Amino acid sequence: MTAGDRPPRTWFVTGGGPGGFGIAFAEAALEVGDRVAVTARRTEPLREWADARGDRVLVLPLDVTDPGQVRTAVSAAEDRFGGIDVLVNNAGRGWYGSVEGMADAAVRDLFELNFFAVLSVTRAVLPGMRARGAGWIVNMSSAAGLRGVPGFGYYSAAKHAIEGLTDVLRDEVAGLGIRVLAVEPGAFRTRAYAGFADEPARETVPDYRPMLEQVRSAMVEQDGRQPGDPRRGARAVVAAMDQEPPPHRLVLGGAAFDAVTATLRDTLADIRAGEALARGADFPTG
């Protein structure tokens, strides 16, 4: 069903700070006649943008790692618009560090934001969707969720967890009229890379610092030069949602598509190379 064939939908988008995917999703939703609740930890930078778009936009303060704020924001959006039709779990970010040496507190902070907060928001929105027998959940994963990136091991792990969660959730809610999509962007021209210039790695093992400095330098160099356009990416997601049947996952960006498909091809070849050992682990059948 295309935008012209259905009534307006209400979107709930997390991580709506300026210059990122959150605002790109909000604008893509507005372009097709929908309404949107945009959440951010700091809402003041969004006021002018929201005022220019009238009563189809609601801006809400939200730290997604605070369950109480999550419930308050979801209730406010439901009260204003009558329900949430599309949830976009977009809030998140990646810290860098080695698997061995990243500080424990940083690892836990990373999973709180990139995994547990997704659970919190999803669980808050699902009851309303179940009651109406319809809805969409769009989980912003990453190409790193399908292809691990050195220096970002825990970010990749969190996004791998989002991939697994999304696959199971899709099956669990399919019979309830709810659809679920995982989106895996590559390098997009958001503000995600901007903080690397001034942010040291949260690292405790000196042996990994040369590798991590290369990681940091590469991120700083790419900032503002990433090939992906967030607005085009958000529109691609809207178009995917209108397909019948819609895809289960959508990789965004040409380089990401090439890297992910190559990784999956190599993974399949590696698994097939061990087929005899895999099958030989069963009890004999004869």
How does strand 35-40 pair with strand 57-61?
A: parallel
Domains and CATH numbers, the chain: 3-279 (3.40.50.720)
What residues pair up with 59 in beta bridges, in sequence order?
38
> What are the strands, taking DSSP E only, across 123-230?
135-140, 178-185
Poorest-confidence range of 19-23, 35-39, 233-237, 264-268?
19-23
Strand order in the sheet with 178-185: 57-61, 35-40, 10-13, 86-89, 135-140, 178-185, 249-252
- pLDDT, residue 159, reads 97
pLDDT in tens, 53-72: 999 999 999 999 999 999 99
Mean pLDDT of 256-278: 97
- pLDDT, residue 4, reads 62
Question: Measured between alpha carbons, how far is residue 131 from residues 7, 128, 167 in Å?
Answer: 18, 5, 22
Mean pLDDT of 170-192: 93
Query: What confidence category does residue 29 fall into, taking pLDDT thresholds of 50, 70 and 90?
Result: very high
- pLDDT, residue 226, reads 83
What residues act catalytically? 141, 155, 159
Q: What is the pTM of this model?
A: 0.94
pLDDT in tens, 148-174: 999 999 999 999 999 999 999 999 999
- Residue 194 reports pLDDT greater than 70: no
Of 28, 88, 24, 18, nearest in space to 229 by CA: 24
Give the integer Cα–Cα distance in Å for 185 and 256.
7
The letter for the amino acid at 93 is R
**If 0-12 CB within 10 Å is exposed, 13-18 middle and 19+ buried, where does residue 149 land?**
middle
- pLDDT, residue 241, reads 98
Task: Give one DSSP letter per residue of 200-265, joined into a string.
Answer: ---B--GGGHHHHHHHHHHHHHHTTT-SB-HHHHHHHHHHHHTSSSPPSEEEESHHHHHHHHHHHH
- pLDDT, residue 2, reads 59
